[in-house]
Amino acid sequence: MTDQPTPAEFRARFPGLHDTVHLASCSQGALSDRVAAAMLDFQHSILQHGAPWDLWMAKVAQARAAFARLIGADVDEIAVVSSASEAAYQVASTQDWSRCPRIVTTDMEFPSVAHVWLAQRSRGGEVEYVADHDGVVDADDYIAEIDERSGLVSVPLISYRNGLRLPVREVAAHAHAQGAKVFVDAYQGLGVEPVNVDELGCDYLACGSLKYLLGIPGIAFLYVRAGTRDDVAPSMTGWFGRANPFAFDPRTIDYPDHARRFETGTPSIPSAYGAVAGLEMLELVDPHVIRDHLGQLTRSLHGRLAEAGETLWSPADDSMRGPQVALRCTDPDDLNAYLKERRIFASPRGDVIRMSFHYYNDESDVTAVVRAIAAYRAVA
């Protein structure tokens, strides 16, 4: 990839950053000028055309194709859904737990996905947890829990809790050797982590648009490896889950062979506009360049906070730490309010406050939040 924007040039595309330190990409990415323009384009489409469904469906198809390119998949391997939770449910609903009932997950999994696995108990699923060791889960921890009774193994690309980068490739290889399918929640890394689904070896991968993909809420994508077979057909379905949605046949329920069998009703069209705009922003930069840039920033923030005597929960090992630094504190919400008053946006969760980076961040953001935390400690 040539003529890539520098971080400073990329940052200039996000107007709000002129007076704001945005360290909350793990919750919502900053707003780019391209996404803002896309929202106006959607409004314009209604004003000019009334109900331009052909235009809107083309935008959904454009979002699907852009997401497929991002993860190295074929466009027919992508279903457009509303959220990662819906994606997880669609996958779970097609599994027959009577044969291989064990669902292997981890406490480092985001609850919205983990709750879908727990709900499978009513259908015979048995949920098993891989324990973390002070916020770290390694391949051996997963391997110890996966056996021939495992039907599905769920492993996040990066944990929302502390930014831990999980060993997806190793886990997927062992799971497949035991006959299990593999689900990856990529929400906390895709967009700033290079991802190729063939290299990961997963059967399913889910991610929404609003965080590191730089879009808005309301749309997500489910990758389903070509050739992956369902034990039972998806029970939550709709007209977009048909082989020919525009046949409008209320008496026939036919499922396509490709990933779109997991789709349901009309997707959020404004969100599709936002998703395309965000994915176009990401296509400007090699994802390896983004990961390297973020590695420098998280290393700097982690080191400076540790030197200041702060207690950190994100991994100290650069190879294990994704795009965020997690700081332990007694009242994360109070610290977050203090930072917000100073136009520094972070994301509290549990007993940590998470500070996450994208390509638009730079060392000045690190300095700003380090100084603000020091000032907070001085008056707290």
Mean pLDDT, residues 259-263 = 97
Tell me the pTM.
0.96
| pLDDT, position 2 | 63
Q: Which of the two residues, 194 and 247, has the higher pLDDT score?
A: 194
Beta pairing partners, 324:
356
Question: What is the per-residue pLDDT across 302-312, written as a single tens digit (0 to 9) for each?
Answer: 999 999 999 99
Residue 380 has pLDDT above 80, yes or no: no
Mean pLDDT, residues 202-231 = 97
| pLDDT, position 104 | 98
Mean pLDDT, residues 86-99 = 97
Question: What is the per-residue pLDDT across 143-189, written as a single tens digit (0 to 9) for each?
Answer: 999 999 999 999 999 999 999 999 999 999 999 999 999 999 999 99
Longest Cα–Cα distance of the chain, Å, equals 69
Residue 1 has pLDDT above 60, yes or no: no
Residue 343 in contact with residue 336, Cβ under 8 Å? no
Residue 114 has pLDDT above 70, yes or no: yes
- Structure confidence at residue 89 as a pLDDT band (50, 70, 90): very high
Residue 354 in contact with residue 346, Cβ under 8 Å? yes
Domains present along the chain, CATH in parentheses: 7-30+286-379 (3.90.1150.10), 41-282 (3.40.640.10)
With a CB cutoff of 8 Å and minimum separation 6, the contacts of 117 are 88, 92, 103, 105, 125, 127, 152, 154
Question: What is the per-residue pLDDT across 276-292, written as a single tens digit (0 to 9) for each?
Answer: 999 999 999 999 999 99
For all residues of the chain together, what is the average pLDDT? Answer: 96
| pLDDT, position 3 | 85
| pLDDT, position 203 | 98
Mean pLDDT, residues 91-100 = 96
Residue 234 has phi, psi (to 5 degrees) of: -60, 130
115: phi > 0 → left, psi -120 to 50 → alpha, else beta; which? Answer: alpha
Mean pLDDT, residues 99-106 = 97
